[in-house]
Amino acid sequence: MLDRGVDLGLVAILVSVVAAGFAGYQVWIGTRQTRIQRAASELSLNLDLMNRMDDILLKIADRPDVHAHVWTRVSSVRPVQDYGPGHVLTQSLAEVLELAMQATQRLPGFAVNKAGWGSFACEVFDLSAAFRQEVTEHPIWWPTVSHHLQTNRPDAVFGETLALPGEEPRFAVSARAGMPRESADEQGSPRSPG
């Protein structure tokens, strides 16, 4: 027969083992819940970005003047930057793409969307002279999109132009992919070839 103190010691060890097992189970459940919450948050962000993108695209589509401003592929004149509806919606389009591209870099579960958002950014870049102008003239405003486009659109010519004192440098881009950039004078106006 065992001593009464040994019996209590064995019971205490058994209780400690069960408590440690229960604590481990709680940690496992907590980790699993955290993963589920992170995935749900990332899906919610993706849905919010998609809804915002849809709102912007529908606002552009609903107004012929805005549609013409945003979706003109090649413009013989510089797209107006007057903070009118077309200009603001072009900037909104760039902002949503910037947020999406940042999310693909910062959120582990969102990285699977990188190819899709990147492809869409390239498509908008190809189809919109106004978007090209915004992104290339203000790369600091949309650094992730600008970097992605510089990497994935090597045929688009990004070049820094002269800036006035107190202004940020501007970047010029060829309006037609694969076409050489026209030379410009000090004011940024195209020079005549002759």
Residue 186 in this model has a pLDDT that exceeds 90:
no
Range name among 13-17, 36-40, 164-168 with the lowest pLDDT average: 164-168
Position 185 confidence tier, pLDDT thresholds 50, 70, 90: very low
Q: How far apart are CA 117 and CA 106, in angstroms?
A: 14
Q: Hey, how many other C-beta atoms are within 10 angstroms of the C-beta on 178?
A: 9
Are 101 and 135 in contact by the 8 Å Cβ rule? The answer is no
pLDDT tens for residues 59-87?
999 999 999 999 988 776 677 778 889 99
Q: Hey, how many other C-beta atoms are within 10 angstroms of the C-beta on 142?
A: 24
Check residue 73 and give its pLDDT.
84
Q: In a 3-state reduction of DSSP, which class is residue 81?
A: coil
For the chain, the domains span 42-172
Q: In a 3-state reduction of DSSP, which class is residue 142?
A: coil
Check residue 193 and give its pLDDT.
38
Tokens for 14?
């058994």
Evaluated on CA atoms 95, 101, 107, 109, the torsion sign reads positive
Cross-strand bridge partners of residue 171: 160
pTM of the model: 0.66
pLDDT tens for residues 119-156?
999 999 999 999 998 888 888 999 999 999 988 887 66
Check residue 109 and give its pLDDT.
79
Are 50 and 40 in contact by the 8 Å Cβ rule? The answer is no
Mention every residue, 6+ apart, whose C-beta is less than 8 A from residue 3: none
* 183 phi/psi in degrees, rounded to 5: -75, 155
Q: How far apart are CA 85 and CA 89, in angstroms?
A: 6
* 172 phi/psi in degrees, rounded to 5: -105, 150
Check residue 83 and give its pLDDT.
84
Q: What is the DSSP letter of 113?
A: G
